[in-house]
Structures are given as structure tokens and as C-alpha cells.
Copies of this chain bind each other. A is one copy, B any other.
Amino acid sequence: EDEVYFSSYGHYGIHEEMLKDKVRTESYRDFMYLNPHIFKDKKLIMITWGCSTHCILLFPVKKKKKKFLSEEKKKNIYEAIYLKLSNFLFQNPFLLNGRLAEFTMPLDPLNVVIENWLGYFLLFESMLDSVIYARDKYLAEEGSVVYPDLCTINLAALGDMKKHADRIAFWDDVYGFKMACMKKAVIPEAVVEVLNPDTLISEPCVIKTIDCNTTSALDLQFSSDFALKITETTECTAIAGFFDIFFEKNCCSKVTFSTGPCSTKTHWKQTVFLLEQPISVKSGENLQGKITVQKNRKDPRSLFITLAINTMKQTYTLQ
């Protein structure tokens, strides 16, 4: 069964999808390639979860050792890659791979942490918590920086009656059966999908700014009032969530990317919160509301997101 050993790896598709996310990968790369002064004479930690990010992990290596990854026929290819990396690290001890929170070895204070912890709606999977832990435990007190350093979470209003009917009215007549009761189950599931920017009916609105160098784990559960400036007189059928990422601190070449519906799509797509009852809105008005983001105590990876708009209040989950 040697030939089928590879099957036990789980799916590579997810890694491939992330590697092919050029917005993500090239942003991290550009930050590193365009700002070499940040790494000069510094100790550098890079933490990656899973294997999909090994490309990010390799960028700093590239100029030192060409063709670092040669063709490799060992069974567990990722392990082979990491073995090579580890060998390299012994000689060039400025790169580390792994979940830093689980590191038991003593480490000298570090100066730069580059992380790829971003989840759906930024905070899904709560991986920023580990970055905060690593930052507080391992970073030197002065002059040390976590990258990306700034993140914003944004909302925008959507008007898409066709999709609303397809997701909600659909249950009124399913092959002749009335299943309207299902709406109450469908609505609370936040949906991760790529939006058509033509369905945006408001300007985006920042509901949270996170400075990764100062934020705390507590700060990642929050409430925020928002006002969405409506750009079209129509029905608001859903609220979209997305995030923007900034590599700025000490950078001579700042790098930023957005996961919003008007930008090149990423594997994070957008997060959609359907409204059971569409809300009539007028161009120019401010659609005001309040959002609350909480972790699910029973599953810390998943999030509870509550939206209150007018008399409507709905809690969604992202899981």
C-alpha cells in the first residue's frame, strides 16, 4: 500500500488554494523583500500553523540559498521540507516554525514576528490570541514589532433581493412543501462567499482597528456602533464583513491589502450576515446599528456575531 500512502495526508487542495491566493502571499513577500532594513541584524521569528504557509516562511531564505527545495521523493513531503528547513535553521538561527505558544525551549528575546494568523472575518479561529501570547512572552521590550501590525474589520450594506429570495423565500415552497421553519436555522449561519461588488449599497465602515503590537486577547471581544452611509435607495438584504491588513510600522515601503468585495478576491472571500426581513434604505441616509463579536465559549475557534439594526437583533455564528 506504499503507493497510496500519500492519501493519508489529508487534502492538499486547501494548501494549494492558499498558495494560489496571490494577494495574501505576495503581500507578505513584498513586505519582506521591500523592507530588508527591518530584518538587518535582527532576530526574526516566523510562526506558521499548518503547512500551507511554507512559501511565506521561505521568502527570507530565498536569496541565501537558491533551489532550497529540491525534488524530494520522501513519503511525507511536508516533513521533508521542514526537515530541510530545520537543518537550515541550525545554521541560520533566525527562523522558527511552529506554534510559538507551544515552544518549550528557552529563546532569546526576539525583534520581529511575522505571522499569518488571519481567519475569516479576520478573527475566526482566534489565532491572534497565540500571536499576542508569543509577543508578550518572547519579544524584546524595545524596538520589536509584530507584522502585520495593523488590521481593520469593516462592514458594508448589501442589496441583493435575488440572492435573498434564493436563501430565504426558497423555504416557503420546497418542491411543494412549506418549510418556512428552516429560515430560523439558515439565517444565523454567517456565509463565507465572494460577493458581486455591484450588490454593495453603502460605503464601507470600519468597526474595529487592531494594533497587533498593543492589543490584548480581551480586546478581541468587543461591541461597536456603526453607521453605514447608504449609496442607493433600495432594500438592504444583508450586511457584509471583511478586513484590511497593513504592514506599516518602520516600513519604508508600506504594504497593504483588502479582502473587501471591490478588491481582488482572496481565499478569505467575504462574510455575509443575511437579514431575515430586508430593510428599506434611502441613498444618503446613515443605516445605524451595533455589532458585538464574542467567542463561543464551547468552541473558542468559532465566533458569535450579533447585529442590531433598528428593531432587528440577530446573532450569527461563524464556524
Contact = CB atoms under 8 A, between A and B. Distances in A.
Interface of A: 3-4, 6-7, 9, 11-13, 16, 19-20, 25-26, 29, 55, 58-59, 62, 67-73, 77, 80-81, 167, 170, 174-182, 184-186, 188-189, 191, 296, 302, 304, 314-315, 317, 319
B4 A315 contact: yes
Contacts of A25: 175
Contact of A181 (B3, B72, B175): B72
A191 B186 CA distance: 28
Given A7-B304, A13-B189, A296-B7, A55 B181 contact: no
Contacts of A317: 4, 6-7
A115 to B, nearest CB: 18
B188 A7 contact: yes
Q: How many copies does the complex hold?
A: 2
Given A19-B174, A178-B71, A184 B13 contact: no
A20 B178 CA distance: 15
29 contacts: A3-B188, A4-B188, A4-B315, A4-B317, A6-B185, A6-B188, A7-B188, A7-B189, A7-B296, A7-B304, A7-B315, A12-B182, A12-B185, A12-B186, A13-B189, A16-B167, A16-B186, A19-B174, A55-B175, A55-B177, A58-B177, A62-B176, A68-B177, A69-B181, A71-B178, A72-B181, A73-B184, A77-B181, A80-B181
A90 to B, nearest CB: 20
A46 to B, nearest CB: 15
Nearest to A304: B4
B7 A181 contact: no
A136 B113 CA distance: 62
Contacts of A184: 6, 73, 77
B177 A69 contact: yes
A204 to B, nearest CB: 26
A7 to B, nearest CB: 4
A184 B73 CA distance: 8
Identify which of A170, A174, A302 gathers the most chain B CB atoms within 10 Å of its CB: A174
Contacts of A29: 175
Given A7-B315, A71-B180, A73-B181, 9 more contacts: A6-B188, A7-B319, A12-B186, A13-B191, A55-B177, A69-B178, A69-B179, A71-B181, A77-B181
